[in-house]
Amino acid sequence: MATTTITPETAAQDRKPVRRRTVRAIKVHWPVPAATLAACAAGDLDVLRSDESFAPLLRVLETSPELGDFGVYGDVFEVALGVESFTVRTGARPALGSVGGRFLSSTLTVTTYVEVTVGDDELALLLARLTDVHPWEVPVIELSAPMDLVTRG
């Protein structure tokens, strides 16, 4: 894990240095049953461990040490609750909906991070693992440009 420690020169004595590390965010949009989304919204986060539709993503996150590596914390990811909308076009084989219809899907957006030092081949394998288990015909997986995360120094 490559890091840089920065001590503010013009700051008051009581300020601590900060550490920056360069990573890429990987954001996966993952469909779940409406009941799972509702349970999460109500504060029952353990439902994610028991939801069979979420289990394949959870397995990839938990078995890929490069994802969510925060040193003394591993498998780090964040989950945002949401809804996605789409229209099924001719030629699609949708997991939800039918051709010509406009549909809404209860969706979790799962964000994790990978060090920018992970090579292109290894990154491609990680992304392939995510697309391989994704239930949608066209997975929505975002890969950010390199960015810095800031923590305490």
DSSP 33-56: -HHHHHHHHTT-TTHHHH-TTTHH
Question: For residue 37, what pLDDT is reported?
Answer: 96
Average pLDDT over residues 75-82: 96
Residue 85 has which token pair?
């909308």
Q: Which residue has the higher pLDDT, 62 or 6?
A: 62
Average pLDDT over residues 105-127: 96
Mean pLDDT for 76-91 is 94
106-141: burial string, b at 16+ Cβ within 10 Å, e else: bbbbbbbbbbeebeeeebeebbebbeebbebeeeee
Q: Give the residue from 126, 140, 123 showing the smallest Cα distance to 29.
A: 140
Question: Above 90 in pLDDT, residue 119?
Answer: yes
Mean pLDDT calculated for residue range 98-124: 95
The tokens for 12 are 């008051």
Model confidence at 96, in pLDDT bands (50, 70, 90)? confident
Rounded Cα distance, 7 and 17, in Å: 4
Confidence of residue 89 (pLDDT cuts 50, 70, 90): very high
Question: Is the model more confident about 6 or about 109?
Answer: 109
HSE of 40, CA atoms in CB hemisphere, 13 A: 20
Beta-strand pair 140-143/78-87: unpaired
